[in-house]
Amino acid sequence: MVAEAKDSNISKLELCSLPGGPHTFELAMKFCYGMNFEITAANVAHLRCAAEYLEMTEDYREENLISRTETYLNEFVVQSLEKSVEVLSTCELLPPIAELVEIPNRCIEAISINACKEQLVSGLSHLDCNSESTELKSNCLEWWVEDLSVLRIDYYERVIRAMGTAGVRLDSIVASLMHYAQMSLNGIEKCQIWNPARMKPSPSMEENHQSIIVETLVSLMPTDKSSSIPLSFLFGMLRMAIMLDAAIACRLELERRIAFRLEMVLLDDLLIPSVRSGDSLFDVDTVHRILVNFLQRVEEEEENEDCGYESEGIGSPGHGSLLKVGRLIDSYLSEIAPDPYLNLQKFIAMIEILPDYARVIDDGLYRAIDIYLKAHPMLAEHECKKLCKLIDCQKLSQEACNHAAQNDRLPVQMTVQVLYSEQLRLKNALSGGSGDGFLSQRISSGIPSAAMSPRDNYASLRRENRELKLEISRMRVRLSELEKEQMYMKQGMIDKSGNGKTFFTSLSKGIGRIGIFSGPGGGRQQKSGRKSRGSEGKTGRSRRHSMS
């Protein structure tokens, strides 16, 4: 540079963009003048880039600075996972010349290879962890997790993708993703409540950076269905994605993953705060999309079974999952119903999206609608009617019918319908009907027609089978209610008889005395006994009527 300078009397040179800055230049000059200093993992990347910048090649001296730093990289850095991570983290502040000499690529490759080697070596300890405590197993899985959390997100992404290609276990990758999120997103598990101060018209640079982190971590999640990502982590990431206004594709991917295991979700997880001003307190739209994804998955599973002409049993996982989700959504509706800002159309959409066979009884739905009517007293009469039409009165339990018959918030038509269905139920119970006619009607309607194609016949039979299973579940509920009522009636008879003597005990003793002393005249007493039993049935009927 001095020789090429135009001014022969130059006394000052400026080295622009020297990698590592003045401190690295000082070390390079010490090397030139033979002064001792130590090459470490903290300075080797800076020295290698500075040597490349200063053209310190073998053409000017044997074992020049480029050669010395390359020797350290090959003999010490790439052989150690910890040193590779440390050197890679120092490359974050270096100019593009670091990529030119391929320091990041070599470190990333070394990290993935060493992780696989360590995984094979520690295979026996992982097997031992299967029989030990959860804490020990966690320690076995997270031996390199803390080291990777210091990397910048772009380097971290490259490392995780390299690990996936090299064959690192998916559970270890998931553990790393969770730890990185907790460290870089300031504790993702604490993001349970929306903080309005975070929502600004223009997000800050820090929020943009965190949004990039969320989107990157979601893209790195394993696609293999065998990898079990905790639902709490998925919901935490979804809350962060909503708060930081991450890309739509990122949020949809999280919703899809949650929908795949919706039957295992807890109610508190679904209570996602809304971030839009003037909207309801909870993000109902997100839960609605999750539910749509879940129902699409159920339909796809049924179509796959249709191709094999296999019918599902009553206890099949698909039907059981749908019933669990039905109960979960009813509980969710009860939680969001008191929100005074909840739109009626959104509330109705959440109810209507579930198919009829997802609810065995409508008690949970009735409770949610009753809460909504109580929290929104200004609803018009036609809106109340529209909402109450969603309740199937024949699917209400005895307790729910009793409550509905005395509920002033319900429209008159709804109350009349509840009383009518209760009368039909009482009539069937007193006449000994058990719904066999309904079942026979369902079965007869499910006979395939010769004019239909085999696939249409099978789809029709599947629908009838599903309705029959739902009716069987309802009958079980009705049977348990009748058993409870019978127990209550017997208990009432015991209380009325007094002195610890039941009605049937006193009746049998009376008949015994008549038979011993009266001889043939006992027939009239037996008739009287039948009359007593008739009055007993009458009492039972009147009691049932009064309860309804």
**What's the pLDDT at 491?**
77
Ramachandran quadrant class, 400 (left: phi over 0; alpha: psi -120 to 50; beta: rest): alpha
Greater model confidence, 459 or 175: 175
Judged by average pLDDT, the poorest of 25-29, 50-54, 410-414 is: 410-414
Beta-ladder partners of 282: 273
Q: Could you give the residue ranges of the DSSP H alpha helices within 498-521?
A: 503-518
Integer Cα distance of 43 and 76 in angstroms = 13
Structure tokens at 449: 């027609």
pLDDT at 308: 52
Render 9-78 in DSSP notation, one character per residue: T------TT-TTHHHHHHHHHHHHTT------TTTHHHHHHHHHHTT--TTTSTT-HHHHHHHHIIIIIT
Report the distance separating Cα 242 and Cα 494, nearest Å.
Answer: 61
User: What is the Cα 72 distance to its own chain's centre?
Assistant: 48
Question: What is the distance, to the nearest Å, from the Cα of residue 197 to the centroid of all Cα atoms in its chain?
Answer: 27
Give the position of tokens 């935490």.
Answer: 236
* 273 φ/ψ angles, rounded to the nearest 5 degrees: -65, 145
- Number of other residues whose CB lies within 10 A of the CB of residue 19: 23
Residue 505 confidence class, pLDDT cut points 50, 70, 90: very low
User: How many alpha carbons fall within 13 Å on the CB side of residue 155?
Assistant: 26
Single-letter amino acid, residue 385: K
H/E run at residue 324: helix 317-336
Pick from 95, 90, 77, 76: nearest CA to 42: 90
Of residues 532 and 212, the one with the higher pLDDT is 212
Amino acid at 351: I
DSSP string, 129-189: HTTS-HHHHHHHHTTTHHHHTTS-HHHHHHHHHHHHHHT--HHHHHHHHHHHHHHHTT-GG
**For residue 253, how many other CB atoms are within 10 A of its CB?**
20
DSSP H helix total and E strand total for the chain: 26, 0
* Burial of residue 426 (number of CB atoms within 10 Å: 0-12, 13-18, 19+): middle
Rounding to the nearest 10 degrees, give the CA dihedral for residues 541, 545, 547, 548.
140
311 has a pLDDT exceeding 60: no
Residue 184 or 443, more confident: 184
pLDDT at 190 over 80: no
φ/ψ of 282, rounded to 5, equals -115, 150
Residue 384: which H helix or E strand, with range?
A: helix 381-388
**Least confident piece of the model among 26-35, 68-77, 390-399, 444-453:** 444-453
Confidence bin at 269 (pLDDT 50/70/90): very high
pLDDT > 90? residue 326: yes
> Which one-letter amino acid corresponds to residue 328?
L
| % of the chain at pLDDT higher than 70 | 71
3-state helix, strand, coil in the chain (%, to 5): 70, 0, 30
Please enumerate in sequence order all residues whose Cβ is within 8 A of that of 166, keeping only pairs 6 or more positions apart, or say none.
112, 113, 115, 116
Choose among 496, 493, 497: nearest CA to 510.
Answer: 497
Q: Residue 111 in contact with residue 162, Cβ under 8 Å?
A: yes
| pLDDT for the residue 17 | 85
For the chain, the average pLDDT equals 78
What confidence score (pLDDT) does residue 232 get? 93
284 pLDDT above the threshold of 90: yes
* Closest alpha carbon to 290 in 317, 327, 251, 320: 251
